[in-house]
Structure 1
Amino acid sequence: MRGVIEKLDTEGMGVVRLGRKEIHVPFTAPGDVVDVRKWRRRKKTLVATDFEVVEPSPARIEPKCPYFGTCGGCLLQHIPYSEQVRFKSEKLSSMVGFDVGVIPSPVIYGHRNRIDVVISTRGIGFRRRGTWWDAVDIEWCPVFGESSRKVLGSLREFIEDFRPSLYEIGRNTGFLRYIVIREGKFTGELMVNIVTAEGRLPEEFPDYFDYADSVYWSINRTKSDVSYGDVERFWGRELIRERLDNVTYLIHPNSFFQTNSYQAVNLVREVAERVEGERVLDLYSGVGTFGVYLAGRGFVVEGVEVNPFAVEMARRNAELNGVDAAFYVGEDRDVGDLSVYDTVIVDPPRAGLHPKLIRKILKDRPENIVYVSCNPKTLRENLDSLGSAYTVEDAVGLDMFPHTPHVETVVKLKLKV
């Protein structure tokens, strides 16, 4: 069946009407003429699985990545970047119910500071789009940068020399499972983390990555298909560093850090601009990305985070930067009196704020809230819940993830008089 792509859906897939059916087609652009032969139902959406672009839209551009269209990582490389930003602004505004502009990423290739590459019998690379059992073999990742080519080349040399067993996706067998590459974009420091099942890693392994600042061996002792594990050993530096403005952060294999360092600079600045008063609570504080940055600018900061390891890293980051910020292990819903803080920063997971925390905010009524969100849907739901006591003072989107449909949002909420 043939038709013309009319628009992009919120997930970045093209939408075509074929008879009474609305089919969502990945890797297409408005104006593309497509033949759709097969589709499958994903929840309430029909997604094309066998299709062809028979007449490309004039709006298309040539993707930089040779794996575009098969790799499940990027969906929008064929869309001009200015159009990607416009699409995200329209999507975000529609989902939250008011106009929100989006700050473009300063860098749109080589911007990611972390990639998790599966090492499998089907390939060394990323999951093939639409599958969990298959992988696209890659030589490098353009959104990470040239150092990925070097690391993956070294990995293949090691595999050729020592012939270790590779992960069999779906069977939970094989020794080598993932290689995680992390890079400080502003420091140039490189970390390589090999994730394996239990077994013996040849002593020569780190020699293949002698150019890296830090080389780790982690063991996944579970049946879960995850790219992290218990640290067995490391060579070189224990941690690498990243720098946002004049603040330095320590990076460990098992710690979360914003994956686009260039845009993370804008993110911390946008949050800082919206903080009022002197005393700040940083909820979901992680490794102290916001808290340490704000403490360096004279705010009195306390952070609360459920992950004890992240709290330890936040404390180390505060010490490294010589700032006075206190970080504690705790649940978001069990924090103390919020009214003692001039500003409360919340940066929850995709599920949004816990209902108990929302009730506590409405009870304690802190003057200012800065809400950082990675999910416009739950952001809108939470804003509606807080709307009886708070008004949206301003908001801005940030494109942390070029070539994907995802967008980050910072919203300033003010207590109603």
Structure 2
Amino acid sequence: MAAALVISAPASGVGKTTLTLALARAWRNRGLNVQCFKSGPDYIDPAFHAAATGRASVNVDSWAMDGAAIAHLVSRGADADVVLAEGSMGLFDGVAARGVSGTGATADIAEMLGWPVLLVIDPSGQAQTAAAIAAGLRDYRAGVRLAGVVLNRVASPRHEDLVRRALNDAGIAVFGALPRHAEISLPKRHLGLVQAEEQAEIGKLIDEAARFVAEHVDLDAVLRSAAGWSPHAAANGLNVTPPGQRIALARDAAFSFVYPHMLEAWRAAGAEIVPFSPLADEAPDASADVCWLPGGYPELHAGRIAANARFRSGLRAFAETRPVHGECGGYMVLGAALTDADGVRHEMAGLLGLETSFAKRRMHLGYRLAELAAPMPGHEVGVRLRGHEFHYSTILAEPDTPLAVVHDATGAVIAETGSRRGRATGTFFHLIAEDR
């Protein structure tokens, strides 16, 4: 039986990821097996979780997934001693309209699984008000149970004492207080954390965070507050169809945003994944029957991608006989051109007419429900797909045949439809699950 907790906060930027990584590594250093999950559509944090625990982490998402899919995914923690689900945004933050099993809020996962919430509170600029916020979160939804609080970025011993007293008066356990410690801050980028594979010193950073948190947090008390959890037997409830039998998958620093559960579901369905690196000027494997370009940061490598003639010619040759699909950044690379943040226009693969620019940033963010108007690898016309879009590009042209009718979480139609030309297709959203 595992000790299970959800780590959440009143808002983004409070320190959820740092605390999750630190606790995971601290308990791993004690010889415990730790399994992490990520609530919501963030595709960066699971790589950090894996770096901290040595075990693959996956996303669980109440807007895109039903209870069977979530139960199947968390069952991977059956052999763990500790299970941690890191939340996204604030505890109750989700979309306005309910999806498959919830609004995408972290609280949905906590209630669905019966795991208590370890709350990270940053009391900067306040004292007793921090207790009022914690009490409000505790009492907001009857099915969500609060385990206690860890304070982050406490200014002084006097500040800590004021906040602790108020929380104790409210009947809320305080497991520890972290003074400001910039050395364990994780680097940021416009989509959130810099990717784990980009951090040469990530192991040392997590070790330092674990040492720091172990010094200031009662790890044993946190474990005692966790729920004893054993997963129920769960059939594979994932609604995922692989795009082909042998999948050439672009995989490097420019193409790394793909949900781990997607790759696992493809393999579970019998598909074989053959990675290749566009940045290393590699072409998709000639024996593959489909090519998939996930998202990432192609705008940071646009000049190199444009110069890699072997990759571009190999991709074009592949697309003459077999399907090629791109998600978000991968979609941009399949297009005609990409303009980087400095305003330099780079020629891309030209399999689609899409043109995008990062010279003028425009945020595109949110869940997407798409009904296919044309087929794409693994999915026929009429299939409904659930995904998530997050990028900062301006769309200059999307001239090809629309791939889908796309709605946001409120049901409003989205102008970016995705595209199809010949055997090439692309979407701005990252696929999470089929809607059945």
The TM-score with structure 2 as length reference comes to 0.33
Q: Which structure has the highest helix share of the two? A: 2
Q: Which structure has the highest strand share of the two? A: 1
The TM-score with structure 1 as length reference comes to 0.34
Higher relative contact order, chain-length normalized (CA < 8 Å, sep 6+): 2
